[in-house]
Amino acid sequence: MNLSRKRKKELRRLQQDAGRLWESQQVLVGNAADIAREAGRQLGNFNREQVVPTVQETYERRLAPTVDRGVRFGKHVVDDRVVPIVGGVVGTALSAWDVANKKRHDLGFGPRHVAPQKKSIGVGSVIAIVLGAAAAIGVVAAAWQALRADDELWVADDPLSPPNA
Q: What is the pLDDT of residue 43?
A: 92
pTM: 0.38
Query: CB-hemisphere CA count at 13 Å for 11?
Result: 8
Q: What is the pLDDT of residue 99?
A: 87
Q: What is the pLDDT of residue 115?
A: 64
Tens digit of each residue's pLDDT (9 = 90 or more) over 42-81: 999 999 999 999 989 988 888 888 888 888 888 888 888 8
User: In 3D, which of 161, 165, 144 has the Cα closest to residue 10?
Assistant: 165
Cα–Cα distance, 21 to 31 (Å, whole number): 15
- Cβ neighbours of residue 30 under 8 Å, at least 6 residues apart? 159
Q: Are 89 and 82 spatial neighbours (Cβ–Cβ below 8 Å)?
A: no
Residues of the chain with pLDDT under 70: 1, 110-116, 149-165
Q: Are 23 and 162 spatial neighbours (Cβ–Cβ below 8 Å)?
A: yes
Q: What is the pLDDT of residue 30?
A: 92
